[in-house]
Amino acid sequence: MTTQNAGLAKKLGYTNVRGFLAGEPAWVKAGYPVYASKEFVEKGNIVLLDLREEGKAVQGRIPRAIPVTSAQLEDRIDDIPHNAPVVLYSDNEQDVMKAFAYLREEGFKNVSLVNGNFQGWVAAGGKVEKGPIFSTEIKWVRKLGKGEVSVADFRKAVLGETTDTFVIDARTKDEIAEYGIFKNTVNIPLDEIAKRLNEIPKDKKIYVHCSTGARADLAYRELVKNGYDVKFLLLDITDPECDCPIIKP
């Protein structure tokens, strides 16, 4: 996030905040990994893949993990939902980084790693389960978390099919200039939300989006704090599931 957004995150109570000036897309494009939090691995609506050699998952694995060895990943790629958050771990740093890069190249936008792989998980006190695995089928259904708006409801608002909604695009002005903006949407960058509350109606449902959902989540928290009826879109706006018309400035 930008330094301004990092400052806002600190105001919202986050303590371990660092800024990467080029932003998350540039971070990933440069090949740097993204790590999932322990809570996200344990409770998140994710596809968790164990990339270790066959048999190791039976001896011990992170709960909910599906064993798909590094050698099997290419053959199983069509089994993994493209819009699912995918979390990977192995016992070999080279294998997990190769898998991370491969999934990104195949269009998976939400891929992260278990910090320290399986060894790091165990060392951090993470839960481990053992025993036979009765199914390696990958099942994932999108579930709305607290404060999230469904893609269907968001699309209705953007398409002008509702009159009781107000949609905010929390991206920067530079992003709008480069990528365009959805119809029926007002651009209020995340770091300007607190200063422009007078522009946001309190008699309507507020929907907030950005490029991936991270900044929209922060904007959601700021607006909730100020008494708004608000939800945010946790989805990459380039995802085909979104499918909303974009206006070029």
Q: If you count them, how many residues does the chain have?
A: 249
Paired strand residues for 129: 61
Q: State how far the Cα of 3 lies from the Cα of 5, in Å rounded to an integer.
A: 5
What would the two tokens of residue 148 be? 């999230």
Catalytic-labelled residue, pool 170, 210, 233, 234: 210
Catalytic, 242? Answer: no
Write out the H or E segment, with its range, that includes residue 25. helix 24-29
Secondary structure in 3-state letters for 48-71: EEECCCCCHHHHCECCCCEECCCC
Burial (CB count <10 Å: 0-12, 13-18, 19+), residue 248: exposed
The residues annotated with a catalytic role in the active site are 210
